Amino acid sequence: MPMNYFDIIESEKAEQVDLPENEPKKQTWLSRLSYLLLLLYWQVSQGAVALPMDRHQHFHLWKILAFLLIFIVCVALSYDWARKHELIPKISLRQFPLGKIATGFVLMLVTSMISGVIMSLTKTDTTENQAAVDAIGKALPPLVFFIMTVSAGFFEELVFRVSMFELLFNKWPKVAMFFAWGLFTAAHMPTDIPSFLTYGLMSLVLTSLYTKYRNFYLNMSVHFLWNAVITLVLLLGK
Where are the chain's structural domains? 28-89+96-237
pLDDT per residue as tens digits for the range 189-213: 999 999 999 999 999 999 999 999 9
CA distance 69 to 71: 5
CA distance to 114, 163, 179, 184, per residue, from 199 (Å) = 11, 19, 14, 8
Q: For residue 10, what pLDDT band results from cuts at 50, 70 and 90?
A: low
* % of the chain surpassing 90 pLDDT: 74
Under a CB-based contact definition with an 8 Å cutoff, are residues 66 and 26 in contact?
no
190 within 8 A of 200, measured Cβ to Cβ:
yes
Q: What's the pLDDT band for 18 if we cut at 50, 70, 90? A: very low
Side chain identity, residue 28: T
On the 0-12 / 13-18 / 19+ scale of CB atoms within 10 A, 167 is buried
CA angle at 165 for the pair 77 and 76, rounded to the nearest 5°? 10
